[in-house]
Amino acid sequence: MSKRGLPTGVQMRHDFHYVEELTRSNRPVGKIIPIDRIEPNPEQPRHEFGDLTELTQSIREKGVLEPLLVKPTGNGKYMIIAGERRWRASNLAGLEELPCIELDIDNEGVAEIALIENLQRKDLTIWEEADGLKALADKFGYTQDQIAKKISKSRSTVTELMTVAGLTGDVREKCRKLGISSKSGLLDVARQFDEAAMFEHLQKIERGEIKPVQLRKEDKSKSDNSNGSATPIKTKNTFSYASKDGDVKVSVSFADNSGYDKRRVLEALKQAFEDIRDGSVSV
């Protein structure tokens, strides 16, 4: 392997994926750049880079097969847009030069690519993923449909993660203390009617009065299996409301046959309110 970071005989390559759409009007330039002329992005949204041991060893053996994305900053220097983990591991591996794709984009484009690259990682926590999506919406005004397309996730997944992102710091801390870290568990909390209801729900879990949603699902699964092929009892699953003057009518229908209670109706109305507020559905 050469000190350039590419195995001998291997040409520099790059899969454009998310970058292609963001840089359609710019012509990216591939080049080999001395590693001491490459600098990290001070606005990098990722702060933890994990254990670099395996990546460093891989780079020693095979080189850097996917170029870094960089932007010229003047004085012969380049700022990393995407690929800081590879840059750090390459430094540890003793490389002198790295394959790069130079992009001529503004600061907003840099921030957007950095966020999207981070959101495509496999090791994100639920909080990192949720907050990353919220940052895309807040900084660039993207709708949930646009975000779903940019990060190649379903619209329903984006909606759920944005709901989790809406949890306040106090509620998050309580969830952490109770060990609630799954998406389903956090959604169960987030879909309570308001913050007071969220804390009441969490206090019930803490006191053992109710189980976290995952345990409730497991209990239901066991119950369903024990009942064999017994026919479920169909209960009323449509809630209707009309204001006293008759000007407002609201109907909430549940797809399953388990019926509804006050909590389920409030959760459904709250989700509908948030979707309309965030512009993810048209009215």
* pLDDT tens, position by position, 193-221: 899 999 999 999 999 988 776 555 544 55
- How many C-beta atoms surround the C-beta of residue 123 within 10 A? 7
Average pLDDT of the chain is 78
At residue 39, φ and ψ (nearest 5 deg) are: -125, 150
Give dist(CA 283, CA 280) in Å, integer.
10
Residues 6+ apart with CB under 8 A from 169: none
At residue 7, φ and ψ (nearest 5 deg) are: -60, 150
Residues of the chain within CATH 3.90.1530.10 domain(s) are: 17-117
> What is the structure's pLDDT at 227?
53
Give burial (CB, 10 Å; 0-12/13-18/19+) of 241. Answer: exposed
Query: Both tokens of residue 97?
Result: 């030069």
> What is the structure's pLDDT at 234?
42
Q: Residue 63 pLDDT > 80, yes or no?
A: yes
> What is the structure's pLDDT at 164?
94
Lowest-pLDDT choice from 10-19, 43-52, 156-165, 242-251:
10-19
Q: Residue 111 pLDDT > 50, yes or no?
A: yes
Q: Tell me which of 274 and 178 has the higher pLDDT.
A: 178
Which of 18, 259, 282, 280 shows the shortest CA–CA distance to 160? 280
| Rounded CA Rg of the chain | 25
Q: Please list the active-site residues.
A: 84
What letter would DSSP give residue 179? T
Q: Residue 186 pLDDT > 60, yes or no?
A: yes
> What is the structure's pLDDT at 251?
82
- DSSP element (H, E) containing 39: strand 38-39
Confidence bin at 13 (pLDDT 50/70/90): very low
φ/ψ bin of 141: left (φ > 0), alpha (ψ from -120 to 50), beta (otherwise): left
- Considering the domain 17-117, what is its CATH architecture? Alpha-Beta Complex (3.90)
Do residues 110 and 41 touch, judged by C-beta distance below 8 A?
yes
> What is the structure's pLDDT at 5?
58
Mean pLDDT over 47-65 rounds to 86
> What is the structure's pLDDT at 246?
74
What letter would DSSP give residue 36? G
Q: Residue 11 pLDDT > 80, yes or no?
A: no
Long-range residue pairs from 147-153, CB within 8 A, at least 24 positions apart, any chain? 150/18, 150/21, 150/116, 151/18, 151/116, 151/119, 151/120, 152/120
Query: Both tokens of residue 176?
Result: 């952490």
